[in-house]
Amino acid sequence: MSVLIPLVTVDGRDSVLLTKRSIHLRSHRGEVCFPGGRKEPGETTTETALRETFEEIGLDSKNVEIWGNLKSVIRRQADFIVTPIVGHITDESILDRLIVKSDEVQSVFTIPIDELARNASLTKFNSKKMKYTLPTFDSTDFKVHHNASGEYLHSTQRVWGLSAVMLHQALTLLNPEVYKHDLIVKFF
């Protein structure tokens, strides 16, 4: 699996594009995440991230400049590995023309990177076999680019779980002067 961490400048602020999964999906419904999905035979992780992003939100790969990939992250259940691919959306105006697959994605929004860095916190999780601490990111300062008609969008968006781990990794590299956390997350 791979996801695209799409960076874009919105209203003069460096931002990250995120999606909120449809509440009609069987798994992870209503969760905030990056566009992405399962790899098809013969694809690279970058090709997978770009294809899935196009399928989910209609963002064409010709509008994304790939910067590289981050370290892969293994899911807690150890049933799959996700490789985050960082890319820059070259034209902010494309965000107003996204064609969103509404059965998978409820909304598409951007959050400024400095907002994410300032509003990070740590959350402790306890499962049957392990205890661990992960980052979470809450934001009230986000810009909606698409929202399925009739769907409620909370005034605060929370990034947590695997998406937060990948965002933590990206912010550590992209904005270390603002995002200062001593959390050590092991990557695959």
What would the pLDDT profile of 70-124 be if each residue is shown by its tens digit? Answer: 999 987 666 779 999 999 999 999 999 999 987 788 899 999 999 998 888 777 7
Determine, yes or no, domain membership for 47: yes
Determine, yes or no, domain membership for 6: yes
Question: Whole-angstrom Cα distance, residue 163 to residue 87?
Answer: 16
**CATH code of the domain covering residue 146:** 3.90.79.10
Determine, yes or no, domain membership for 181: no
Determine, yes or no, domain membership for 179: no
The per-residue pLDDT string of the chain (188 residues; one tens digit each, 9 = 90 and over) reads: 999 999 999 999 999 999 997 666 565 556 899 999 999 999 999 999 999 999 999 999 999 999 999 999 987 666 779 999 999 999 999 999 999 987 788 899 999 999 998 888 777 777 777 777 788 889 999 998 988 866 667 788 889 888 999 999 999 998 888 887 766 665 54
Within the chain, strands assigned E span: 2-10, 13-21, 32-33, 36-37, 64-69, 73-74, 81-89, 105-112, 120-126, 131-139, 143-147, 157-159
Determine, yes or no, domain membership for 149: yes
Determine, yes or no, domain membership for 59: yes
Question: Whole-angstrom Cα distance, residue 36 to residue 38?
Answer: 7
Sign of torsion over alpha carbons 132, 19, 59, 175: negative
Which tokens is 60 given? 């064409």
Domain hosting 145: range is: 2-174
Model pTM score:
0.89
Number of domains in the chain: 1
Which tokens is 151 given? 């769907």
